[in-house]
Amino acid sequence: MSGQLKEVRERIKSVINTQQITKAMKMVSAAKLRKAQMAIQQARPYSNKLTAMLRNVMRYVDNGDQLVYNRATEGLRPAVIIITSNRGLCGAYNSNIVKEAIHHIDTKYAQAVQSKSIRIIPIGKKAVDVLKRHYDPALLERKFLDLGERIEMDRVYEFATFLMDEFRSGNFDIIDVSYGRFRNAAVQIPETVQYLPVPPPKPMKEKKQNIVPNYTFEPDEDTLLTELIPAILKVQIHRFLLDNAASEHGARMTAMDKASENADELLKELRINYNKARQAAITTELSEIVAGAAALGS
Amino acid sequence: MELIVLTPQMEVFRGHIKSVKVPGTAGQFEVLAGHAPIVSSLQQGKVRIITESGEKKVFSILNGFIEVLNNEVSLLVQGVDLAP
C-alpha cells in the first residue's frame, strides 16, 4: 500500500516541477511578446508612410504596371517562402503555417512541383523537417534558414535583394510568402500572400483624387518609383519576420498557459488519488488492528 | 513646420523645426516653412535640422526619401548614424 502512496507522491512532485517550467516559459514568452509587439508598432509608421508615398507617385505615372516588379507572369517558376519559428513548444503554430503553405503549393503549383521548377525557401528550422519529407529536398533553398533568429536589417535587405534579383532575372516569376500574421497573443493567422510581382495598389477614392497636391518629384517619377518599390519590398520582408516573431511568442505564451492549467488539473486529480490511497491504507490498518484485538479478546 | 524622421526600426525625431537640409539625389536642398509639395529620394549624406528653438541637429544617413506637404515634412531614412 505504502508503495502506491510513494508512487503518487513522486508523480505529484514531477508534475509540480514541470508546471514550474511551463510557468516560467510563459513569463519569458510574455516578455518577449511585448518586445516583439513594440517592434511591430515602431516599424509601422515607416511602412505606412512609404506605401502612402508610393501611392502618391503612382497617380502620376501611367505605366505603373509596366514596371519590372509589377509585370505579371505565368507562374511557371514560382518560389514560396515559408516563415516559421526556430523553436518548438508553441502549440500548433508552426504546423499550421506549414500546413497552409503545403496546401497552397499543392493546389497552385502542383505542376511546378512535378517539373521541379519550384523553389521553396524555408525560414526557421521548424518548417524544414516537414517540408523535406513532403517535397524533394533538392527543391529547398536553405540559405536563409536563420533569418528570423535575430532580425537584423542588413540580412533582411540582403534577402529582399536576393529575391528581387532572382525575380528580375526571371529565375522566379512569382514569389509567395506563407507566415503567421499576428493578430493578438491568442490569435495568429497562417496566411499566404503574393510578394512579387507587386499586386497593383488599390485605386484611391474619387473624392480624394480631386485634392491631389501638385507634387514636385525629384529626380523624376520613374526614378522615384524604381527606388520606392524596392524600399517597400524590403520593408515587407521585415514586417513578415516581425509578425512571425510576435506570433511565435504569442503562440508559445498561450501554449504554456494551457500547459500550466493542465498541470493544475492533473495535480488536483493526483492529490485526490493520493488522499484516497492514504485513506484506504489507514482503513485497512485500522480494521487489521480491530480484527487483531477481537481475535485476542475471544 | 513639423518634422518627423522615421527609420524601419523606430521614430528618430519628431518636432517643430525652422528648417531641414537634406542630401537629395538630384542635389542637396533645404526645406523652409511654406515649401511646395515635393517627394524626393535621398542619397548618402548629412541631414541638418534647425529646431524651433534654434538648436542644430545633424545626423548622417545612407539613403531614404523625403515628402513635404502642407508644412509637414516626413523623412524616411535608412542607415542613420546619430553621431554627425
Whole-angstrom distance, CA of residue A21 vs CA of residue A14: 11
Ramachandran category for residue B28: left, alpha or beta (phi over 0 → left; psi -120 to 50 → alpha): beta
The answer to whether A138 contacts chain B (CB < 8 Å) is: no
Q: Is the residue at A157 inside a domain?
A: yes
Within 8 A of B7 by CB-CB distance, chain A residues are 46
Query: Domain extents for chain B?
Result: 2-78
* Domain-located, residue A12: no
Please indicate, yes or no, if residue A43 is contained in any of the structural domains.
no
Question: A270 in a domain, yes or no?
Answer: no
Q: Does the domain made of B2-78 have the CATH classification 3.30.360.10? A: no
Report CB contact under 8 Å: A42, B11.
yes
**In three state form, how does the secondary structure of A110-123 look?**
HHHHHCCCCEEEEE
The domain total for chain A is: 1
Regions of chain A short of the pLDDT cut 50? none
User: What is the C-alpha to C-alpha distance for residues A28 and A25, in angstroms, rounded to an integer?
Assistant: 5
For the domain that residue A143 is a member of, what is the CATH number? Answer: 3.40.1380.10
Cβ count near A76 (within 10 Å): 14
- Whether A230 is in a domain gets the answer yes
Q: What is the pLDDT of residues B24-45, one digit of tens each?
A: 998 999 999 999 999 999 999 9
The span from the CA of A278 to the CA of A287, in Å, is: 14
DSSP letter at A211?
T
Summarised one tens digit per residue, pLDDT across range A40-63 is 999 989 999 998 888 888 777 766
Residues of A numbered 24-83 whose beta carbons fall under 8 angstroms of chain B's beta carbons: which are they?
39, 42-43, 45-47, 49-50, 53, 56-57
Domain that holds residue A190: 60-243
Q: What is the pLDDT of residue A67?
A: 65
Residues of B with CB under 8 A from a CB of A: 4, 6-11, 24-26, 36-41, 65, 67, 69-70, 74, 76, 78
What is the interface pTM, i.e. ipTM, of the complex? 0.90
In three-state form (DSSP H/G/I as H, E/B as E, the rest C), the secondary structure along B6-58 is: ECCCCEEEEEEEEEEEEEECCEEEEEECCCCCEEEEECCEEEEEEECCCCEEE
Query: For residue B19, what pLDDT band results from cuts at 50, 70 and 90?
Result: very high
Per the CB < 8 A criterion, the answer to whether A123 and A145 are in contact is yes
Say if residue B84's pLDDT is above 70.
Answer: no
Tell me the pLDDT tens digit for each residue of B70-83: 899 999 998 888 87
User: Would you state the cell numbers that stand for residue B41, as one nine-digit string?
Assistant: 529620394
> Per the domain annotation, does A136 fall within a domain?
yes
